[in-house]
Structure 1
Amino acid sequence: MFHVLRQPARAAPRRRSLVPRRRRLAARAAALAGAGACLAALAPAAASAAPVCTGVNSPSVAGVTTNTSLSSMFTRYGDSGAGWTGADSTYSARLPSGSDVWLFSDTFLPPITAPTRPTSAPLVNNTLVPQSGSTLSTIHGGTASAPEAVMRPATAGHWYWVGGGSVSGSNLEIPLTEWRKIGPSIWDIRWQRNALARIPTRNLRAAPTITALPSATGINWAAWTLREGWTTYVYGVEDLGAEKYMHIAKVTGSLANRWSFYKGGDPALPASWSETESDSIRVQEHVANEHSVHKLRNGLYMLTTTDTSLAFNNEIVAYFSCKPTGPFVARTSLYRAPEAGPWGSYLDGDVYAYNAHAHPQLSSATNVVVTYNVNSLDATIGGDLYRDVSIYRPRFLNVALTP
């Protein structure tokens, strides 16, 4: 997962001369040129409809624009210093009250000196940001002077990143992945297990109840959850580094109940499911650690993901299926993130885009709200995420589709 990593200790920011930075940018440009991160963000060419299943064609992309309402709301709130000032993951869920709550992984908190961030700004590994109309607030653990993550593992030095949350009964349920640091590099992290946080929707500030989720195979069961009636489909990622594969499970009612794992075939048949996690099959390749599958309209599902077939790819794509289990076909290019790479909007080879997914409760059959995250490989204190607060904030898109 491409996240900011908690620094083991606060230190004075490292000063860097311009010449070494230029050399680093040139080296990064050469390394990423073939990976697509350096491509400019262009509106995708209109794709003609393609067959998905008998009698059903994929939609075409009519255009992609910035969702100015959400973008402005988070920019105002992030710059205000009232709470959240930047984060990634960017999941959301509709509460029984009709309002939404945003779920974030690594989150910067105040102080803020927009357009820069002071090096004293704390970073916690997960937060909740409830929305009421156009007003946002922030929920974190600990205290105002010593903030902590909302959800924390029992083991010191470990942390949770959030997955695609949803409401079950009177609880907000958030699948989590637990991680630990194993070396000095930002990539030296190791997945430990999956877990489930349950928080009462009537009081999101209540202490979460955390229980174990299936973890025997190493699949990260937190990418997405899709609720249909009493059934919830859970989308996980088999993360092999350069290769990532989607897996699917399902559960009746709460995610705390017994899971079944998709073996392939007609998902309506009991024989297509197993209670043994190792029977789970690879459903789709080149997905991101965070992606989404939602019902676009009756009989048509949309998979939204950053294409991970190339390292640090900045292309957001969609696939379509007539069933929540796939097969996902009719690959459609949606957007190329303009921020990424040495020729991107930041002119910084360390900046990359990742983990795109949809927000179904904010979407319709002809307009899908999609977010993606932006980050930097320069995660040092005083580095890119401090010199420009806009880098480490989600982007909000309206993807217009023609049925």
Structure 2
Amino acid sequence: MTKNLRVTGALCAGALLLTATTASAAAAGPPAADPVDECSLTSATITATARIEPGLTQLFTAYGNTGEGWTGADSTYSVPLRDGTTAWIFSDTFLGPVEADGGRPLSTPFLNNSIVLQDGGNLTTITGGTAEHPESLVGPGPDTDWHWFGAGHRTRTGDLQVGVLGYARFGEGPWDWAWAGNSLATVDSTTWDVVAIDPLPSAAGIQWASWYQQIGGHVYVYGVEDLGAEKYLHVAKVLGGGLTDLKRWRYWDGQGWSREETASARVLDDVANEYSVTPYRDGYLLVTQDTSVPFSAEIHAYVACSPQGPFVHATKLYDMPEVGPSGTYGNPNIIGYNAHEHPELREDDTLLLTYNVNSVDPTELYDDVSIYRPRFVEVSLDVDPS
């Protein structure tokens, strides 16, 4: 499958340059290929200190305000590519222009997925369609009305693979839509053509796109069972890492790895639809918004000795300051969601997190372009092993 793409870009003069760094082996090096069940991390006391990260915050703000491409979106996954650039993966996306008062015209193009390519201090927007008529990179399908992007990873050949979540309408109401299935888009990272869209397991009601993590020779796939007010983390692993080979998928059933997707066990509740699970010290670190309370502003971390958990000892990392009537917008409609880490930007015990900000009143996204953009946060962890 080939898709012609539109690419627009602008160099954000004056923006602070932030390039991807490789985490130290002590902080982010993967544990043994066959993870153990005991580690010091789960007995440690962890405290967090957080601040707004200035470099990426200024870079994306300046670029979005130019109105020359991407002006706001959600999801905000990142994948470092072989040539040193970073692909920032987004779901619902606004393009320019931006008006002088900081609003958007109602005619602003709105796409369901896009990519922003970062090359040092230069950001470039990648979409489908043409410059005159931009479209989502992955458009509607035979049984879906739109697709949102999930996590991504780089293949051995250097291409970008992105989890794709399909949604379909079943009525005319604003909430008359539901998840319809999982697939995987393979994107040529040189031409930015979508060269393939392959089905992924979808029989168990689990959205397998929350996070992808290479561990040893396998890719661990993290998903969410989204029941609305209740959300549960699930874990699969793909032997050898070839995500499109469905015979290689195994599902954690609570005791071992099953070939049957329907055997997949609920590992943890109160996670968000998007989260991250990354190697950290001698174990694993889960970062997620706390969804035990509707529209919570809290971002939590859990730890585990194995990539399939159990995940224990919730630590609050950050309170999203924009959220709710007492937030920085002073607006009860403002919500935050889907926090996760970007491990390629970790430095020792300092993490780079993002989360998304939105309004339950969509008209407010046209009044103020600053609302619907990712936030970038540095979180420094103090890990006391005693």
TM-score normalised to the size of structure 1? 0.82
Matches within 5 A, 1:216-235: 216-235=203-222
* Residue 273 (structure 1) aligns with: 257
Cα deviation, residue 400, structure 1: 0.5
Matches within 5 A, 1:179-194: 179-194=167-182
Which one of 46, 55, 60 corresponds to residue 74 of structure 1?
Answer: 60
Cα distance in 2 for residues equivalent to 1:62 and 1:183: 45
Task: Say if 1:233 and 1:250, in contact at 8 Å, map to a contact too.
Answer: yes
Matches within 5 A, 1:223-302: 223-251=210-238, 252-257=240-245, 258-265=248-255, 272-297=256-281, 299-302=282-285
1:45-66, CA deviations, whole angstroms, 9 ceiling, x for partnerless residues? xxxxxxx955433452341001
Cα deviation, residue 154, structure 1: 2.4
Q: Is 2:347 the partner of 1:358?
A: no
Unaligned 5+ segments in structure 2 are 1-36
More strand by share: 2
What secondary structure does 2:379 align onto? strand
What secondary structure does 1:343 align onto? coil
Amino acid at match of 2:352: V
Task: Say if 1:58 and 1:330, in contact at 8 Å, map to a contact too.
Answer: no
Cα distance in 2 for residues equivalent to 1:213 and 1:399: 34
Unaligned 5+ segments in structure 1 are 1-51, 266-271
Cα deviation, residue 152, structure 1: 1.8
Task: Say if 1:262 and 1:279, in contact at 8 Å, map to a contact too.
Answer: yes
Cα distance in 2 for residues equivalent to 1:65 and 1:253: 35
Cα distance in 1 for residues equivalent to 2:229 and 2:278: 26
Identity %: 46
Cα deviation, residue 153, structure 1: 3.4
1:275-317, CA deviations, whole angstroms, 9 ceiling, x for partnerless residues? 11001000010000000001122x2211000011111111110
TM-score normalised to the size of structure 2? 0.85
Cα distance in 1 for residues equivalent to 2:265 and 2:359: 33
Amino acid at match of 2:329: Y
* Residue 399 (structure 1) aligns with: 379
What secondary structure does 1:74 align onto? helix
1:186-209, CA deviations, whole angstroms, 9 ceiling, x for partnerless residues? 432211000000112233x21331
Cα distance in 1 for residues equivalent to 2:39 and 2:97: 56
Which one of 347, 364, 368 corresponds to residue 384 of structure 1?
Answer: 364
Which one of 188, 202, 211 corresponds to residue 200 of structure 1?
Answer: 188
* Residue 92 (structure 1) aligns with: 78
Instruction: Call closer, same or farther: CA 1:208–1:127 in 2, change over 3 Å.
Output: farther
Instruction: Call closer, same or farther: CA 1:295–1:186 in 2, change over 3 Å.
Output: farther
Task: Say if 1:59 and 1:401, in contact at 8 Å, map to a contact too.
Answer: no
Cα distance in 1 for residues equivalent to 2:170 and 2:348: 44
User: Which stretches of structure 1, 4 residues or more, deviate above 3 A after TM superposition?
Assistant: 52-59, 183-186
Cα deviation, residue 336, structure 1: 1.0
Which one of 296, 302, 307 corresponds to residue 290 of structure 2?
Answer: 307
Cα distance in 2 for residues equivalent to 1:344 and 1:186: 26
Task: Say if 2:76 and 2:88, in contact at 8 Å, map to a contact too.
Answer: yes
Q: How many residues align?
A: 341
1:202-256, CA deviations, whole angstroms, 9 ceiling, x for partnerless residues? 33x2133101000011110111111113200000001111100001111022211
